[in-house]
Structure formats: structure tokens, C-alpha cells
Amino acid sequence: MIDPEQFGSLFGNMQKEFANLEQKAKETTITAKSGGGLVSASINGGGELIDISIDDSLLSDKESLQILLMSAINDAYKSVEENKKSMAFQMLGGLGSFGAK
């Protein structure tokens, strides 16, 4: 049987750990490139787009610029999601001792 005190303590620790991971994620910057580096997009762990870099050679080719920009942004967002999942699994790894005495 689960001890309610132990459960409350575990839940409180999980909340603190989650807050710490959330802050750490926001401080992380993930950059993705497309077109061999002609376009790059940087997103912080909170999911905010913080920088876009476009090579001058693309400024006259709107269609290519749009495609490469979408690709870089989508890749960066995917990486942010993968990073969040990885951090969550790390946090949940500490739950292996739940209920152990």
C-alpha cells in the first residue's frame, strides 16, 4: 500500500523537478539549418522563435527562400519537441524508487 505522506513528498519533488526542467528548457537554444546552411532558424526551449538567418543569395529567389525557411523552422520545432520529451523521460527516470522502502 502507498503511504500518503510518501506520495505527497514525491509529488512535491516532481513539481520542483518539473519547474527546474522547464526553466532549463527555456534557456536552451536549438538551431536548425536548411539549404546547406543558407537558412537557419533558432528556437528556445520554450518554443519561441528567437533568430532567423538568411543568406543574401536567396533574397532574389522568393520561392526557394520560403521553402528553405519553412524547412528550417519546422526542423527546429521538431528538435524542441524531441528535447522536451528527452527531458521528461529523464525526470520520470527518477520515479523508479516510487513505493520502495
Task: Report how far apart the first and last C-alpha atoms of the chain are (Å, whole number).
Answer: 11
**Cβ neighbours of 41 (radius 10 Å):** 25
pTM across the whole model:
0.69
Residue 36: its pLDDT value, please?
96
- Segment 82-86 long-range contacts (CB within 8 Å, at least 24 positions apart): 83/25, 83/28, 83/30, 83/45, 84/25, 84/45
Q: Cell numbers of 22, please?
A: 522547464
Q: What tens digit of pLDDT does each residue of 63-84 get?
A: 999 999 999 999 999 998 998 8
Residue 1: its pLDDT value, please?
57
Q: What tens digit of pLDDT does each residue of 13-67 get?
A: 777 877 887 788 788 899 999 999 999 999 998 889 999 999 999 999 999 999 9
Residue 101: its pLDDT value, please?
44
The residue whose grid cell reads 506520495 is 7
Class of 28-80 in CATH: alpha beta
